[in-house]
Amino acid sequence: MIDFSAPSFVKDPYPELALLRKEGKPVWHDGLGMWLAAKHQDANAVLRTKTLGRIFTPRDPETQWNEFNWLHSDSILDSEPPKHTRLRSLVGKAFSRSRIDSLKPEIERLAGILLDKADLKLRTTGTFDLIADYAEPLPVKVIAALLGFPDEDEHLLRPWSQAIVKMYEVNPSEQAQAEARLAAHEFAEYVRGLMVERKARRGEDLISELASVEEAGEKLNTQELIATCVLLLNAGHEASVNGFGNGIVAALQREDQLALLRTNPRGVTDTAIEEFLRFDAPLQLFERTATQDTKVGEVTVLEGQKIASLLGSANRDEEVFDKPEEMDLTRANNPQIGFGAGIHFCLGAPLARLELSASLPMLFERFPNIELAEEPVRRDTFVLRGYETIKVKTA
Ligand code: HEM
């Protein structure tokens, strides 16, 4: 039975996940009290089956969890049709491929500024941190600009988001719970303030757009507006930071893959970013609840039971991928499901792909001889898998 919080598992979950796939069907996990779908076919089916819903289980309703609860139950991610369809269609337009593609020059400009600063740090201190100095600020700045979140308060986003997402791990501590409640409260109140401000003075940003929909009535209420903005601000950077970090560390640790990025970064970018997300998925586990008895593979998930889709495991399935344990930045056939599948398929996938495909070649064009300066430090979490710091230097 997998111990999801064991340090050895968090460090490298893939050997145990490979054993789980060998079972050939979803397996019941007593500790989590849910089924685990580890094979690509099953994990994919979990996300696509209508009778397996994303149903948020509130924590102690009517207590101090109230705000944390509605920040989830009123968001796109934690709702099901018809509410999900309504909320997703309201923000869908803002994330369409053509709207997102128009952001490319701005993303490149921001990446260029961060690389200038990293260059300075490198020259003065000998190293810089790929997370704190590059992978993290870029998506934070992009999503903040899209929503019209004030520049001077951007530094608040990552700590709020980090505190909230700790609750998605298995067994969060009492302290983590208290921090999550406080962050939910502060974040919700901050966004409420922005909404009031934008109603008075409309801008070109997404918060202004949603505030005017809310004012017109019917389509969006205040809680849904706040929950949606908080979700977008969190989802808009959390996985992107880790997707970049996980992929770049794996590449920096493999001479042959590193050579591809050094010699022809633009030539391999498209396949490289898909391989980054396949090889070490930044989001590893998503749960669903059966609204009626539902067959997945060879097992029946009874009404009310939960089943987890293990994305990182699915992405290493030997029945789907050729040599899945090897990183291949030129991999052509790559049906990775790191962005999920079905109705909750990542709304931000075009944005995440654009950020990665802009920032990866720019990094290697600026620093072709980049290498790890010391052992990178992993976060001690499994569901949101990523690095705390990745110190690099140039050879
Ligand atoms: C590499 C980066 C990213 C990865 C790997 C990723 C992954 C995912 C996954 C797996 C889901 C589905 C969860 C489920 O089925 O339960 C999801 C949903 C979502 N993602 Fe992303 N995401 C990334 C970046 C982004 C960005 C940049 C945004 C920007 C706004 C974003 C916004 C969302 C939203 C709003 C949802 C909920 C969609 C729905 O429920 O209909 N994501 N993401």
Q: Give residues with Cβ within 8 angstroms of 377, minimum separation 6.
A: 387, 388, 389, 390
* Ligand 1 centroid, distance to 244 Cα (angstroms): 15
Task: Give the 3-state secondary structure of residue 66.
Answer: helix
Q: Give the pLDDT band (50/70/90) at residue 56.
A: confident
Mean pLDDT in residue range 127-151: 95
State CA 307 to chain mean position distance.
Answer: 20
- pLDDT value of position 271: 98
Ligand 1 environment, Cβ below 6 A = 47, 54, 76-77, 88, 143, 231-232, 235-236, 239-240, 243, 277, 282-283, 286, 338-340, 344, 346-348, 351-352
Which residue has a Cα nearest atom 43 of ligand 1?
346
Provide DSSP, 89-112. Answer: HHHHGGGSHHHHHTTHHHHHHHHH
Sketch the domain layout of the chain as residue ranges: 7-50+61-394
Confirm if 230 and 191 have CB atoms less than 8 A apart: yes
Per residue in 340-390, pLDDT (tens digit) is 999 999 999 999 999 999 999 999 999 999 999 999 999 999 999 999 999
Cα torsion angle, 241, 328, 17, 340, sign: positive
Work out the burial of residue 154: count CB atoms within 10 Å of its CB; fewer than 13 is exposed, 13-18 middle, 19 or more buried: middle
Confirm if 5 and 170 have CB atoms less than 8 A apart: yes
* Ligand 1 centroid, distance to 334 Cα (angstroms): 19
pLDDT, mean over the chain: 94
Confirm if 94 and 146 have CB atoms less than 8 A apart: yes
% of the chain surpassing 70 pLDDT: 99
Mean pLDDT in residue range 188-212: 91
pLDDT at 213 over 90: no
Confirm if 344 and 47 have CB atoms less than 8 A apart: yes
What is 7-50+61-394's CATH number, 2.60.40.10, 1.10.630.10, 3.40.47.10, 3.40.50.880? 1.10.630.10
Rounded to two decimals, the pTM is 0.95
- pLDDT value of position 330: 98
pLDDT at 214 over 80: no
pLDDT at 310 over 90: yes
* Ligand 1 centroid, distance to 95 Cα (angstroms): 11
pLDDT at 283 over 80: yes
- Higher-pLDDT residue of 91 and 134 is 134
Cα torsion angle, 194, 109, 352, 20, sign: negative
Q: Give the pLDDT band (50/70/90) at residue 60.
A: confident
pLDDT at 217 over 70: no
